[in-house]
């Protein structure tokens, strides 16, 4: 499964006690997303090359990378190939080149939350924690946009909570996941994340929940 598809986050309402309390990270991530790009039609040749590269991932990664590059040469706006190539590079621990892919991907699809999460992981892996947290704020903003259309979608809520957890906001993420479980008590994803957050003396890298 594409690791970028395995994500989660949610919405917290700040209370007011003798004056309004500050908004939480999930209420207001403090960043603004670029405007959504118009939908584009992509080259069928580029699509076919991308699909062939996906088939080769477990056989010949070098050839898969070459096919992704060829697809992007034919259609520089074909964001799917950027996403797939970025995941390939992460698997090879080539985080610097993966960051370049995610940067281009976010330009093409500025409201794609998963690209910001992948970008943040690469920054985290290269020791750039402050920038990684900033990318996660963009991810939260993107999840918030999705929630405007689907406010009760458990997958979006969980992915948003996960972004908060990756940002180091453990208590915020915990309370949000607990809220999700009240309305979606059978969500295995929510249960798994809550267990990870509540683990006593948890010294594990939270990113392992996605990129393991």
DSSP string, 82-98: HHHHHHHHHHTT-HHHH
Contact 71, 82 (CB under 8 A): no
Report how far residue 115's alpha carbon sits from residue 83's, in angstroms, rounded to the nearest whole number: 7
Half-sphere exposure of 208 (CA within 13 A, CB side): 7
Spatial CA neighbour of 12 closest among 140, 185, 155, 149? 140
pLDDT in tens, 64-110: 999 999 999 999 999 999 999 999 999 999 999 999 999 999 999 99
| Alpha-carbon radius of gyration of the chain | 18
Looking at residue 36, the DSSP 8-state letter turns out to be P
Report how far residue 141's alpha carbon sits from residue 145's, in angstroms, rounded to the nearest whole number: 6
Half-sphere exposure of 181 (CA within 13 A, CB side): 15
State which H helix or E strand residue 133 sits in.
Answer: helix 129-149
Task: Find tokens 């006690």 and name the residue.
Answer: 17
Q: Is the pLDDT of residue 16 over 60?
A: no
Tell me how far apart the terminal alpha carbons of the chain are, to the nearest angstrom: 12
Half-sphere exposure of 10 (CA within 13 A, CB side): 28
pLDDT of residue 87: 95
pLDDT of residue 206: 86
| Residue with more model confidence, 131 or 38 | 131
Report how far residue 187's alpha carbon sits from residue 164's, in angstroms, rounded to the nearest whole number: 18
Q: Going from the N-terminus, what domains does the chain have, and what CATH number goes with each?
A: 3-11+43-209 (1.25.40.10)
CA 182 to chain centre: 24
2 pLDDT band, cuts 50/70/90, is low
pLDDT of residue 19: 36
16, β-bridge pairs: 20
């Amino acid at each position: 499964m594409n690791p970028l598809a395995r994500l989660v986050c949610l919405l917290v309402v700040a209370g007011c006690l003798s004056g309004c309390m500050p908004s939480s990270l999930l209420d207001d991530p403090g960043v603004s997303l670029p405007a959504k790009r118009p939908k584009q039609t992509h080259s069928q040749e580029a699509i076919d090359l991308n699909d062939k590269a996906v088939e080769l991932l477990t056989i010949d990664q070098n050839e898969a990378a070459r096919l992704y590059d060829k697809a992007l040469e034919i259609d520089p706006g074909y964001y799917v190939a950027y996403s797939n190539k970025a995941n390939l590079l992460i698997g090879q621990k080539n985080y610097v080149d993966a960051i370049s892919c995610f940067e281009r991907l976010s330009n093409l699809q500025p409201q794609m939350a998963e690209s910001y999460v992948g970008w943040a992981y690469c920054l985290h892996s290269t020791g750039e924690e402050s920038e990684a947290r900033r990318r996660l704020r963009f991810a939260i903003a993107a999840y918030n946009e999705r929630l405007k259309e689907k406010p009760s979608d458990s997958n979006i809520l969980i992915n948003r909570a996960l972004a908060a957890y990756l940002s180091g906001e453990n208590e915020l993420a915990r309370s949000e996941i607990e809220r999700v479980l009240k309305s979606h008590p059978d969500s295995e994803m929510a249960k798994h994340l809550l267990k990870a957050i509540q683990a006593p003396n948890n010294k594990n890298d939270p990113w392992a929940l996605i990129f393991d």
